[in-house]
Amino acid sequence: MEDSKIGFDSKCVHAGVEEYEFGPVVPPIYQTSTFKFKSAEHGAALFRGEEEGYIYTRMKNPTVEAMEKAVAHLENGYKALGCGSGMAAIHTAFASLLESGDHVICSKAVYGPTATLLSTIMKKFGVKTDFVHTSGIEEVKNAIKPNTKVIYVETPGNPTLEISDIKEIAELAHQNNILLVVDNTFMSPALQRPLDLGADVVVHSLTKFLNGHADVVGGVIVVKDEEEYNKMRKTLNQLGGVIDPLNAFLVHRGLKTLALRMERHSKSAQKIAEFLENHSQVKWVMYPGLKSHPQYQIGQKQHIDSGGMISFELKGGVDAGRAVMNSVKFCQLAVSLGGVETLIQHPASMTHHSMGKEAREAAGITDGLVRLSVGIENVNDIISDLEQALKKAGETATHHQEELA
Ligand SMILES: *Cc1c(COP(=O)(O)O)cnc(C)c1O
Clarify whether 287 is annotated catalytic: no
208 lines ligand 1 (CB under 6 A): yes
Q: What is the pLDDT along the chain (405 residues), one digit of tens a residue?
A: 567 789 999 999 999 999 999 999 999 999 999 999 999 999 999 999 999 999 999 999 999 999 999 999 999 999 999 999 999 999 999 999 999 999 999 999 999 999 999 999 999 999 999 999 999 999 999 999 999 999 999 999 999 999 999 999 999 999 999 999 999 999 999 999 999 999 999 999 999 999 999 999 999 999 999 999 999 999 999 999 999 999 999 999 999 999 999 999 999 999 999 999 999 999 999 999 999 999 999 999 999 999 999 999 998 888 888 899 999 999 999 999 999 999 999 888 888 888 888 888 888 888 888 999 999 999 999 999 999 999 988 887 666 666 555
- Choosing from 30, 111, 152, 287, which is the catalytic residue? 111
Ligand 1 pocket test target in 111, 209, 239 with most atoms within 8 Å of CB: 111
Centre of ligand 1 to C-alpha 186, Å, is 9
Residues contacting 149, CB < 8 A, separation 6+: 97, 98, 102, 103, 104, 178, 179
Residue 46 has what pLDDT?
96
207 lines ligand 1 (CB under 6 A): yes
3-state SS class at 366? coil
pTM, entire model: 0.95
Q: Where are the domains of the chain?
A: 8-255, 258-404
What is the CATH number that goes with domain 258-404?
3.90.1150.10
The whole-angstrom separation of Cα 233 and Cα 125 is 21
Q: Which strands sit side by side in the sheet containing 309-314, from one edge to the other?
A: 282-286, 309-314, 369-373, 343-345, 332-333
**Do 88 and 246 form a contact (C-beta atoms < 8 A)?**
no
117 lines ligand 1 (CB under 6 A): no
Residues contacting 205, CB < 8 A, separation 6+: 85, 86, 87, 89, 111, 185, 218, 219, 338
CATH 1.10.10.10 fits 8-255, yes or no: no
The whole-angstrom separation of Cα 390 and Cα 305 is 27
The whole-angstrom separation of Cα 129 and Cα 123 is 8
Helical (H) or strand (E) element with 372 = strand 369-373
